[in-house]
Amino acid sequence: MKSIFLALLFVLLAFQPDNYKNDRMRMVNDQIISRGVRDQATLNAMRTVPRHEFVPSNSRQLAYGDHPLSIGYGQTISQPYIVAYMTEVLELKPDFKVLEIGTGSGYQAAVLSEIVSEVFTIEIIKELATSAKKRLQMLGYKNVRVFSGDGYNGLKEFAPFDAIMVTAGAESIPQPLLDQLKEGGRMIIPVGSSSYTQYLVLVEKKNGKIKTRKLLPVRFVPFTRDSKK
C-alpha cells in the first residue's frame, strides 16, 4: 500500500503541469510576435524559459505581463519584448559563446543559453549574482557561468565573444567590451547619459572597425562601477 502511495506521489510530482505555460504562449504572441520579432530560435527560447521562476515569489502572477518587474536591490528584470528584441538583434548561432553584463535575475542569460552553446554573465551586486547562480543551477541551465564583479572589463580570459549583451544603461560603450568582441561579432547595449535619453545601440565589428547604430529608445537601470577597482 505504502509503495503504491509513494509511486503515485512521485508521478504527481514528476508531472506537475507548468501552470504558466498558457501565459507564456500568450506573452509571445501578444507582446513579441505582434511587435515584429520573427527569429524562431528567440521565440522558442521565450516560450521555454519559465520567467515566473526568475521573479520574486510575490510577483509571480505578474511575471508574464507587458512590463519590467522589480527583482530587489533597486534592479529590474526587463520587459519580455525588450529581452526578445535584444536577443534577436544579436543574430545568434548555436555554436556561439556569448557574454552578458548585468545578470540580474538570470532570466536573460537563460534565454540566451537556450540558443547558444556557452553563456558567461557578470553581475556587480554580489547577492544577485549568488541568487541567479543558484536559480540557474536549480533550473538545470548547465551552459551558463555566473561571475560576480564589475562587468566593465568583460572577461578577458574567455574572450573573444561571438556576441555581447549589456543589460544596464551605460554612458558610453566600455572599450574592453569592444576589444573582446570577435571580428564579425555583434553587441547590443543601452547607451545614454540619463535614463531619458537612452537608446539601444547595435555595435558591429567588421574588418577591425566598429560600426554603431541607434535602434530603440529604452530605459534601463544604470551601469554602475565598482569603486574598489
Q: Residues interacting with ligand SAH, by CB under 6 A?
A: 75-78, 101-102, 104-105, 107-108, 122-125, 128, 150-152, 167-168, 221, 223-225
Of 140 and 208, CB closest to ligand SAH:
140
> Annotated catalytic residue: which of 78, 105, 113, 131?
78
Helix (H, G, I), strand (E, B), or coil: what is residue 169? strand
The answer to whether 203 and 211 are in contact (CB under 8 A) is yes
193 is catalytic: no
Closest CA to 67 of 54, 80, 49: 80
Of 179 and 211, CB closest to ligand SAH:
179
Of 102 and 185, CB closest to ligand SAH:
102
Of 77 and 191, CB closest to ligand SAH:
77
The least distance separating ligand SAH from the CB of residue 221, rounded to whole angstroms, comes to 5
Place of cell 504527481: 12
A 10 A CB-CB count for 92 gives 22
The answer to whether 184 and 210 are in contact (CB under 8 A) is no
Bond prior to 160 in cis (omega within 30° of 0) = yes
A 10 A CB-CB count for 225 gives 13
Place of cell 530587489: 72
The least distance separating ligand SAH from the CB of residue 157, rounded to whole angstroms, comes to 16
Of 89 and 168, CB closest to ligand SAH:
168
Exposure class string for 43-53: b at 16+ Cβ within 10 A, else e = bebbeebebbb
The least distance separating ligand SAH from the CB of residue 7, rounded to whole angstroms, comes to 38
> Around 20, how many Cα atoms within 13 Å sit in the side-chain half-sphere?
18
Beta-ladder partners of 123: 148
In one-letter notation, the amino acid at residue 186 is R
204: which 3 cell numbers?
Answer: 558591429
Question: Looking at the annotation, which residues are catalytic?
Answer: 78
